[in-house]
Amino acid sequence: MKPTRPQLTRRAMLIRSAQAAAFAAAAGGLEPLLAAPQSRGFKIGACDWSLGKRGDTAAFDVAKALGLDGVQVEMGSVGNNMHLRRPDVQQSYREAAKRTGLQIASLAIGEMNSVPLKRDPRAARWLADSIDVCTALGLTVVMPACFYAGDLDLRRTAEIDHLVGVLKDVAPKAEKQGVRIGIEDYLSAEDNMRIIDRVGSPAVKVYYDVGNSTDKGRDILKEIRTLGPLICEFHAKDAGYLLGQGRIDFRQVRKALDDIHYSGWIQLEAAAPHGLMVDYVANRKYLKAIFPSRVE
């Protein structure tokens, strides 16, 4: 017998909206929904692992050659002891961004795919430390990845209870420092909302990947509109296709983002069967035409 899942109530939705507004005010207006229409716009970056430079400042040189606006960077690995916690490594990333004229867009913790946040105490420590890394680098989003060994299933109640407990512990620190924790996973919009409601913090969000959700057969346009301000950032990919030549209509994605008043980063995590310099330049041009730097 499957455990009963709690239903979202109107009261819970109103409370969450109020919390989000309060968090945005405390964090200097981080929430996309509070951006004035004339100031909205998009930035196109890429994940350092997609650029073939995971955990390496050389990702900024590759991103510059591709014409991107910035890079989503890995916090580190077990092997280098999450090296972005070190001030000297942080400085090397600042210097790389300055040298190339690009931005450090957001932080990712991909190692949680093998050291799961849902059960491993090391992952809990990394998440807490990531808030300080974001503050040191001037970032507002950290993405704990929850795939492979870290994959989430609401039927595994002990794992979800552990995850919720970790998020509850870290959320006050994130709220205080103006950082959003964007969980990336294979869950539906509704299941992600159930976890977020249990945590009860406006600092906990969804990192939405249109390709992953399409792989799961979900209606991404409906999910984007359902999640609304709970989305803190996006990954853009479409299986092995060049963007615009596969399953996803990114012009319709733009309409959904306009409906939720999203502005900010969209990170390329797409396949590059013809090589980065061919495919990522094409993907960047395609996205820029739909998601311009400024929306009037």
Q: DSSP code of 186?
A: S
Kindly report whether the global pTM for this prediction surpasses the value 0.75: yes
Cα–Cα distance for residue pair 208/49, rounded to 1 Å: 17
| Residue 201 belongs to a domain | yes
Q: What is the CATH number of the domain that holds 230?
A: 3.20.20.150
What pLDDT score does 40 carry? 86
| Residue 5 belongs to a domain | no
Residue range 85-133, pLDDT digits in tens: 999 999 999 999 999 999 999 999 999 999 999 999 999 999 999 999 9
Cα–Cα distance for residue pair 292/280, rounded to 1 Å: 17
Is the pLDDT score of 19 beyond 70? no
Range of the domain at 87: 38-290
| Residue 124 belongs to a domain | yes
| Residue 23 belongs to a domain | no
| Residue 31 belongs to a domain | no
Q: Using DSSP, state whether 50 is helix, strand or coil.
A: coil
| Residue 243 belongs to a domain | yes
Contact 196, 203 (CB under 8 A): no
Residue range 188-233, pLDDT digits in tens: 999 999 999 999 999 999 999 999 999 999 999 999 999 999 999 9
| Residue 87 belongs to a domain | yes
